[in-house]
Amino acid sequence: MSSEYLLTRDITATVIPAGDTVTLTAGTSAHIVQTLGGSVTVRTDAGLFRITRENADALNGFDVSKLAVSAPGVAAGEFSEAAVWAAMKTCFDPEIPVNIVDLGLVYDLSVEQTPTGGHALEVKMTLTAPGCGMGPVIAEDARQKIAALPTVESAKVHIVWDPIWTPQMISEAGRKTLGLE
C-alpha cells in the first residue's frame, strides 16, 4: 500500500517504535504503509512515524475520509460489552495490520455499573514486546475509543505483563490477516 505524499506543513508525529513525539517538517516525503485505526503509519528517510487523523490532512492529496474512526455496528446511544470489544477492534499497533483484540493483546475487560447508571470500564492489555515505546500510545488510543461510547463515565487501560504475550494468542482472524494459516 506504499504511496508517496509530501507534507504540506509541519506536523507532530510519534516515532515508531520509540513512542517519542517529534515534528515532521513541511516538504518531507512520506510513504504511507498503513491506514488503520484512524491514524496513518508513514515511512520517511528518518524512519517510521504514526500520524494522527488530525494531522493526516498535511499529507498532500491524501483522502482523510479513508480513516475510519468509529466501531462498525455500534448503534448511537446504546452501550453493551460487545460495543466495547468492537471499539477496541479499531485500535492497531502501527506496525502490525491486526487490531489489538485479534492480536491477543487484550487480557481482561471489566464493566461496572456506576451509581448514576453509567459504566466504568477497566481493560488489562499487554504488548507484543516489553519496552515497546508505543505501548502508552496504543493504550491511550484504546482508552479514548472506549471512553467515547455512550454512558461510559470512566475508562482505564492498564498495561500488564502477565502472562507474557506469545504469537499463539493471535486469533484465527488475526492469523489469516498475517498469512499465518
CATH number at residue 30: 2.30.30
| Domain harbouring 91, CATH code | 3.30.300.130
- What local confidence, expressed as pLDDT, does residue 141 receive? 95
- Domain co-membership, 43 together with 112: no
- Domain co-membership, 169 together with 99: yes
- Domain co-membership, 22 together with 87: no
- What local confidence, expressed as pLDDT, does residue 71 receive? 56
Give me the domain span that covers residue 97: 81-178
| Choice between 181 and 42, residue whose per-residue pLDDT is larger | 42
- Domain co-membership, 10 together with 36: yes
- Domain co-membership, 60 together with 144: no
> Domain tally for the chain?
2
- Domain co-membership, 86 together with 59: no
In terms of Cβ atoms closer than 10 Å to its own Cβ (0-12, 13-18, 19+), residue 131 is: exposed
Q: Is the pLDDT of residue 166 over 90?
A: yes
Q: Phi and psi for 72 in degrees, rounded to 5?
A: -65, 145
Residue 73 inside a domain? The answer is: no
Does the pTM surpass 0.75? The reply is: yes
Residue 76 inside a domain? The answer is: no
82-101 mean pLDDT: 94
- What local confidence, expressed as pLDDT, does residue 76 receive? 60
Q: Is the pLDDT of residue 85 over 90?
A: yes
- Domain co-membership, 91 together with 62: no
- Domain co-membership, 50 together with 91: no
- pLDDT cut 90: percent of the chain above it: 83
Pairwise CA distance, residues 176 & 103, whole Å: 11
Per-residue pLDDT reduced to its tens digit, 121-133: 999 999 999 888 9
- Domain co-membership, 62 together with 96: no
- Domain co-membership, 22 together with 103: no
- What local confidence, expressed as pLDDT, does residue 132 receive? 87
- What local confidence, expressed as pLDDT, does residue 21 receive? 96
Q: pLDDT band at residue 181, thresholds of 50, 70 and 90? A: confident
8-23 mean pLDDT: 96
Pairwise CA distance, residues 159 & 151, whole Å: 24
- What local confidence, expressed as pLDDT, does residue 77 receive? 66
Residue 21 grid coordinates: 513525539
- Domain co-membership, 34 together with 94: no
